[in-house]
Chains A and B, each alone.
Chain A
């Protein structure tokens, strides 16, 4: 089951997502990147219906870029989150997107922030959030160990604690995770946590 979670630290926000692409009982791939870099200082970690996930997050990414081209300045994280919620809410009663989103961003004026946006367009600014069956474990671990103003090392340690819990306690636990971080220097991939590597393709 898809696991996505994230938290806000001292002057950064970190999100982690599992990397398995699954259809019924078949694992198509175990290195699917579900955290999209929205713009220089924003990350979208998405979980849900695979087609909707890719299409919707790309749609948001292109619209955020369009805003920057038209107006010369990037959207704030709050604005991007509200735009995303608006798109989900408009589509909700016509053709809903089954995508749950954690939007992490860093703004110069307001610092790091994390927004919880579920598939029925409920928007809430949070310090820690999670989606999926893994959320039962990761939210509990974060409730226990999280405090405001964590350093990068403390936060990654907590993320690893959550991953260990998910791996050991969730029956269909995804083997691999990707961790991405956003701070004043931008959004970037921090690390992968792999316990199963895809077999190398034999050369022709």
Chain B
């Protein structure tokens, strides 16, 4: 079994009309055994920037701590929050630093940039960025997620419709993957508010 599939994960981020949604599953496993069903894969960097980390949980935790540290330093020096594009470059650089001994994580970054324009991107474990205008996916269920998102996605969805779309795409994909699931965690972010919702799906 690949080291990326040791803990199991599913992540998706999608762009809507002046908003974005980022969603993850909730399972933490050790290969075939489920350890917890309330694992947080998505973290807030600041009010308009969210980071999801799929892959090996220990590296996701280490990487998250390093990135929060770097962002806090940035805030002290620049006296403002980091733009999503800048943060994506930072994550990419930190991952490439470990080119020959990498963090076994695939990050998904979602944020609101200048003029409230939604920004999403993903990268591989050594920092190769993949910008997208519509959706990005990561984790053990990524192949199912690509198919589900491609068929369900529409341009310029309002927050409520975006939430429904992301939720359906996530749940239908993780139901076909034994290593991810046990519910979902969806954040829908608009310029004015952040709505966090827990999904109940197939609990297996």
Contacts and interface: CB of A to CB of B under 8 A. Distances in A.
Interface of A: 85, 89, 92-93, 116, 118, 120-124, 126, 129, 135-136, 139
B58 A122 contact: yes
A120 B58 CA distance: 6
Contacts of A93: 101
Contacts of A135: 33
Given A121-B61, A122-B7, 20 more contacts: A85-B61, A89-B58, A89-B61, A92-B58, A93-B101, A116-B36, A118-B30, A120-B58, A121-B58, A121-B62, A122-B28, A122-B58, A123-B58, A123-B61, A124-B28, A124-B36, A126-B35, A126-B36, A129-B35, A139-B33
A120 B101 contact: no
Nearest to A85: B61
Contacts of B7: 122
A26 B28 CA distance: 35
A124 B39 CA distance: 8
Interface of B: 7, 28, 30, 33, 35-36, 39, 56-58, 61-62, 101
B188 to A, nearest CB: 26
A138 to B, nearest CB: 12
A122 B57 contact: yes
A112 to B, nearest CB: 17
B9 to A, nearest CB: 12
A135 B56 CA distance: 21
Contacts of A121: 58, 61-62
B101 to A, nearest CB: 6
| 6 pairs of A and B residues whose beta carbons are closest in the complex | A121-B58, A122-B57, A122-B58, A120-B58, A124-B36, A89-B62
A120 B61 CA distance: 11
Nearest to A121: B58
Contacts of A120: 56, 58
A122 B55 CA distance: 12
A124 B60 CA distance: 12
Contacts of B56: 120
Contacts of A139: 33
Nearest to B40: A124
23 contacts: A89-B58, A89-B61, A89-B62, A92-B58, A116-B36, A118-B30, A118-B58, A120-B58, A121-B58, A121-B62, A122-B7, A122-B57, A122-B58, A122-B61, A123-B61, A124-B28, A124-B36, A124-B39, A126-B35, A126-B36, A129-B35, A136-B33, A139-B33
Contacts of A126: 35-36
Which of A93, A124, A129 gathers the greatest number of chain B CB atoms within 10 Å? A124
Contacts of B33: 135-136, 139
